[in-house]
């Protein structure tokens, strides 16, 4: 005679009503929210493991005495994610150990009777948050030395492998969970998303679970729970945290391209508009100490401003220096313009190696000079490292050009245009290096 088939376990109790019962071990109140899908209930007061069966509110499985831990969010708190209301029905503390350090995190089991389960993770060691959603399939894992995971067109890079251990449990769970349970976890990242693969041993077999993770800001979590205080502030870069320096990369490079094209057009137009002419050329002159050289020059009209480029070269220079004091005295005003140009050349042998420094050719530029006639007065000085010498021992080549292309002013905007993307790129690389330093692929490893 065959026995009658057992009645199916209902997924929900009658109407989704919350039921309050007492713990059979310590008498503490237990609020049941997960309904018929729950397999295990862990008392938040004493840690005893209880089971729910139809027709019997609770059945004690294992009596335990342990202290309650205060988590960052309380049991039965409600929140809004994915446009749905969720309730925390279970809290699990887990941890991994690496190089003598313990890295704990808290997992909050979120439940909605119509949408199922979600996992809200708070990483205690760096104060970051992530929301986990169970996958409805398995990602494609490829590679062995540095694996990648493919899921719905996205590629996730392997971040680390660890052994996660359960250190604390309270609340209701649709699976059996105990303090001391371990699972081998592989984490893959594609910020702000990630994939987690966990392999747990079940008797003679194993169970594999895949979860998609999404980085959450603490402020978003607090807003979801309707909290008014401030959330914990992160202390490091999280595995799933998006790189702020890579946001809007397309707009950055588009702006760079536009500004670079504009710079080229403006630079070409500016260079084409210059009418450079030599207004003074002295080749191979000697200027004695206290014997100034003078000559008149004329360029443009007094109502037009121009720039002047002065080039000076001296020879011979050997472990010596030369200096020119140049004075431009206008015939149409009283404001003289003065300028000094120094040239030098030094060489020697140090530790068996020869060295040299300095230059016998130097340039200087003066901007905004009114046109007209000027008397140029040039005085020369010379010397060695230890004493002054007669300046007439040097031969000078002196040239003054008007309306030249001011190269530094042309290159300065280019440096800014090119420099900004480079700076953003370096900041992005620095951010990524901070992310990966805690992975299995950190440079120190």
- Three-state SS for 376-424 is EEEEEEEEECCCEECHHHCEEEEEEEECCCCHHHHHHHHHHHHHHHHHH
What CA–CA distance (Å, rounded) separates 322 from 316? 10
| Contact predicate 141/149, CB 8 Å | yes
Exposure string (b/e) for 195-214, b if CB count within 10 Å is 16 or more?
bbbbebeeeeeeeeebbbbe
Can you read off the two tokens belonging to residue 199? 């392999």
Instruction: Please name each of the domains of the chain with its CATH number.
Output: 69-242 (no CATH), 275-404 (2.60.120.1300)
Which residues, 6 or more positions from 309, have their beta carbon under 8 angstroms from its beta carbon? 363, 364, 365, 400, 401, 402, 404
Can you read off the two tokens belonging to residue 209? 């679970």
Residue keyed to tokens 């970051």? 128
Which residues, 6 or more positions from 237, have their beta carbon under 8 angstroms from its beta carbon? 126, 431, 434, 435
Specify the pLDDT at position 3: 41
What CA–CA distance (Å, rounded) separates 109 from 119? 5
What CA–CA distance (Å, rounded) separates 47 from 166? 13
In 256-392, DSSP assigns E strands to 277-285, 293-299, 305-315, 320-330, 337-350, 353-359, 361-370, 372-384, 388-389
* Cα–Cα nearest to 211, from 142, 128, 116, 145: 116
Strand partners, 433: none
Tens of pLDDT along the chain (445 residues) come to 334 344 444 444 444 456 677 776 676 777 777 666 777 888 877 777 777 666 556 655 556 566 778 899 999 999 999 999 999 999 999 999 888 889 999 999 999 988 999 999 999 999 999 999 999 889 999 987 889 999 999 999 999 999 999 999 998 888 888 889 999 999 999 999 999 999 987 766 678 899 999 999 999 999 999 999 999 999 999 999 999 988 877 888 888 889 989 999 998 888 888 888 998 999 988 988 888 899 999 988 888 888 889 999 998 888 889 899 999 999 887 788 888 999 999 988 888 889 999 988 999 888 888 888 999 999 998 888 888 888 888 899 999 998 888 888 888 888 888 888 889 889 999 999 999 988 988 875 4
| Contact predicate 405/321, CB 8 Å | no
Exposure string (b/e) for 294-304, b if CB count within 10 Å is 16 or more?
eeebebbeeee
Strand partners, 190: 193
Give Cα 211 distance to the centre of its chain: 26
């Amino acid at each position: 005679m065959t026995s009658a088939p057992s009645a199916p376990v209902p997924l929900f109790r009658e109407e989704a009503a919350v039921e309050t019962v007492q713990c059979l071990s310590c008498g503490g109140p237990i609020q049941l929210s997960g309904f018929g899908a729950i397999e295990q209930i862990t008392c938040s007061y004493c840690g005893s493991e209880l089971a729910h069966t139809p027709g019997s509110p609770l059945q004690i499985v294992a009596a335990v005495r342990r202290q309650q831990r205060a988590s960052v969010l309380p049991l039965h708190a409600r929140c809004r994610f994915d446009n749905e209301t969720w309730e925390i029905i279970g809290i699990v503390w887990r941890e991994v150990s690496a190089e003598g350090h313990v890295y704990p995190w808290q997992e909050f089991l979120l439940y909605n009777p119509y949408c199922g389960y979600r996992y809200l993770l708070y990483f205690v060691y760096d104060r970051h948050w992530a929301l986990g959603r169970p996958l409805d399939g398995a990602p494609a894992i490829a590679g062995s030395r540095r694996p990648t995971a493919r899921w719905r067109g996205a590629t996730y890079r392997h971040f680390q492998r660890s052994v996660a251990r359960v250190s604390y449990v309270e609340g209701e769970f649709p699976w059996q969970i105990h303090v001391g349970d371990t699972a081998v976890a592989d984490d893959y990242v594609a910020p702000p998303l990630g994939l987690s693969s966990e392999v747990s041993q079940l008797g003679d077999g194993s169970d594999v679970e895949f979860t998609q993770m999404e980085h959450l800001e603490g402020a978003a979590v607090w807003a979801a729970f309707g909290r008014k205080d401030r959330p914990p502030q992160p202390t490091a870069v999280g595995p799933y945290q998006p790189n702020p320096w890579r946001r809007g990369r397309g707009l950055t490079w588009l702006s760079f391209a536009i500004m670079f094209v504009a710079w080229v057009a403006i630079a070409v137009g500016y260079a084409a508009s210059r009418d450079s002419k030599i207004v003074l050329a002295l080749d191979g002159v000697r200027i004695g100490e206290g014997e100034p050289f003078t000559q008149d020059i004329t360029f443009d009209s007094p109502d037009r401003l121009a720039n002047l480029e002065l080039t000076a070269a001296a020879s011979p220079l050997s472990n010596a220096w030369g200096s020119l004091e140049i004075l431009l005295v206008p015939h149409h005003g009283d404001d003289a313009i003065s300028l000094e140009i120094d040239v030098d050349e030094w060489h020697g042998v140090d530790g068996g190696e020869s060295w040299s420094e300095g230059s016998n050719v130097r340039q200087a530029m003066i901007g905004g000079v009114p046109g007209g006639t000027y008397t140029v007065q040039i005085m020369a000085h010379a010397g060695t490292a230890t004493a002054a010498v007669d300046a007439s021992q040097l031969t000078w080549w002196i040239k003054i050009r008007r309306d030249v292309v001011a190269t530094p002013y042309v290159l300065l905007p280019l440096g800014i245009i090119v420099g900004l993307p480079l700076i953003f790129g370096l900041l992005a690389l620095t951010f990524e290096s901070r992310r990966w330093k805690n992975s299995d692929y950190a440079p120190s490893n």
